[in-house]
Amino acid sequence: MGDDPERPAPTQQVWARRDAFVAARDIYVTAVLSRTATRTPFPAGGGYRPDRPVFVQYTNPEILACYGIDARERHAALTLTRALEATRLALLLTERHLLIPASYIFEIPWYRTFLGCLAPLVRAGALRYVSPVPDLADYREMKVHEYRRDRLNPYRRTGVRGICSDPDFTWAPRHGGGTAAGIGDLWRDALQPGGELHGIVRGTARRWHRPRGRAERLLGRTPERLDGQAFIARFVERALPVPLTPPESTSLAFFLSRAYLRSYLLDLDAAVLSDLPAGDLTCGLSRRTPGMDGRLLPARRLDSVLHWLGIRDFVHRAARWDELLRLRSLPEFGLVIDRVYDDSAADALRIAVLEARRSHRFRHAGTYAEAKSNVQAVAGTMADFTFTDRKTWSDDP
């Protein structure tokens, strides 16, 4: 601002301690103004959109198994604790609701306990279940068939009780073609030379003592050979002519979970948390994956900003669910969160926090009122300087 020799630069008094703030602020405000001039929305974090629901993949047993976590038995207690912590962050990242596939309710032994802890979110409509049919009893009957050859068929012994029969537990229909259909299309492409699973084709042909082309054709028919069973790793491996090696088994599990997750995110136009304590939990999806830009939201980044704001402990330990809903509804909180996933605004946000900390209003938050005050102080700092520079820019000849 002011490099043009024919345009006089606005006079601006800058104290030494604020030089860094002004530098970061000017870079950020220039970006804001240039986007405003073209009437395009500010693209937060490569496409982050708070109007997207957040998909609760961090309780998916197949995805967790890819990261060495036995969510059903050995690591059940730890997974439940981590899921409740992740849910607090996920709730702050959407203006809508959280989505859980109905399958989790039946396949994870502790899920009724998890949903019981989230009862206030169920009653508020902030947590919804996804299935092709609204009635969970009907859904259960559909899934019994898909798991009919599973020795421990979870749908055979689990009924619909408690929070799951609550009329406030809202159904979120899935309008896409279904997980199996989407994975089947990706499966055949991945088996081709150069595809993600072509190594499994080569290994199968070698151990099966058959030509590679025959192995590829057989593996290509796996969706049909499953005969309506769920398209998950252990069922797929049973349909293969020879056992897989451990690396091949891992590659298969990651591919199927990645395809499953991508299918849900696109069908539901949803986002997910990534970079969680248990692992990335996206099975290899990245911002470069087609359709995934803006859908993968690193939890560690949000946690860092909550720490800067002095509200991390409040969010994770003290806040009730209704207080988190109130916090995320603050316009000031929305302003801050937009900047969390906007790489071009990270420095401006960091320095705005430093400025706000000098205010007597800023303190380590132990209550909702204190958390609200901290957020408003930081948002106010950003807004004050943005307004000043907007006015200065418009006054330039």
Residue 278 pairs in a beta bridge with: none
Secondary structure (DSSP) of 358-383: TSTT-----SHHHHHHHHHHHHHHHH
- Residues 337-371: pLDDT tens digits? 999 998 888 888 988 999 898 876 788 999 999 99
311-325, pLDDT tens digit by residue?
A: 999 999 999 999 999
3-state SS track over 252-281: HHHHHHHHHHHHHHHHHCCEEEECECCECC
- pTM for the full model? 0.83
Q: Which residues, in sequence order, are bridge partners of residue 100?
A: 129
Specify burial of residue 193 (Cβ count, 10 A radius: 0-12, 13-18, 19+): exposed
The predicted pLDDT at position 348 comes to 86
Helices (H), the chain: 19-37, 61-66, 76-92, 102-107, 111-117, 119-123, 136-146, 154-157, 179-191, 198-208, 212-220, 222-225, 233-238, 246-268, 299-308, 312-313, 321-329, 331-340, 346-357, 368-395
The total of other beta-carbon atoms located within 10 Å of residue 240's CB is 18
Measured CA to CA, the distance from residue 249 to residue 203 in angstroms comes to 11
Structure tokens at 207: 């151990």
Yes or no: say if 87 and 100 are a contact pair by the CB < 8 Å rule.
Answer: no
What are the phi and psi torsion angles at 285 (to 5°)?
A: -65, 145
- At 1 the pLDDT is 44
For 14-60, the pLDDT digits (tens) are 333 344 434 444 444 344 333 333 333 333 345 899 999 999 999 99
Residues with Cβ within 8 Å of 227's Cβ and at least 6 positions away in sequence, in order, are none
Nearest to 180 by CA among 65, 285, 259: 259
